[in-house]
Amino acid sequence: MVVRVFALCVLMFASVASAGHNELLIERVNAKFSYTWLALDKTIKANGYKAAYLQRCDFALNERHYKSDKYRILFFGQYDEMRRMSAKYPKLSPFFPLKITVMEEGLHTLIIATPPITLLPLVKTDEDRMQIFRWNEDVKSILKQVKNQYK
């Protein structure tokens, strides 16, 4: 039990020190959209997650006269974990699956995610907080891994 509480404190400090609850996780990838998209898909799978859905946003933005390059959202997750958390905390359901936005910006591509630690106020047990911290670290790692493929 002491080890679990210590691990929770270490993860909490590391996550809060590197990204505040209100900050987005953003990486600029030195690759065109299509390469970044493929790298993201492979990296998500390599980290034990499954892609659930792809939402294209660029067409809707263009219809409303916003100039945009390619802009998509990838929904992904580990479904058993998210199903368990949703059953235990119904207020979490709208936040699942997790999301990463991919947006072309000239010769680069931005990959953006809301840190899962923003969900911490909605859970009550240390075990569930540890789960959210793990998701947070996984999302940060996925973004870094994709960026590092195109240095």
Contact 141, 148 (CB under 8 A): no
Of 6-20, 95-109, 126-140, the range with the highest mean pLDDT is 126-140
Confidence (pTM)? 0.80
Class of CATH domain 2-148: alpha beta
Q: Where do the structural domains in the chain lie, given as residue ranges?
A: 2-148
In angstroms, rounded to a whole number, what is the distance separating the alpha carbons of residues 124 and 100?
26
Q: At what angle do helices 126-148 and 79-88 cross, to 10 degrees?
A: 140
118 DSSP assignment:
G
- pLDDT at position 6, please? 37
* pLDDT over 60 at 29, yes or no: yes
In angstroms, rounded to a whole number, what is the distance separating the alpha carbons of residues 101 and 71?
7
- pLDDT at position 137, please? 97
Mean pLDDT over 20-29 rounds to 83
In angstroms, rounded to a whole number, what is the distance separating the alpha carbons of residues 151 and 6?
35
Token pair, residue 47, equals: 């980290």
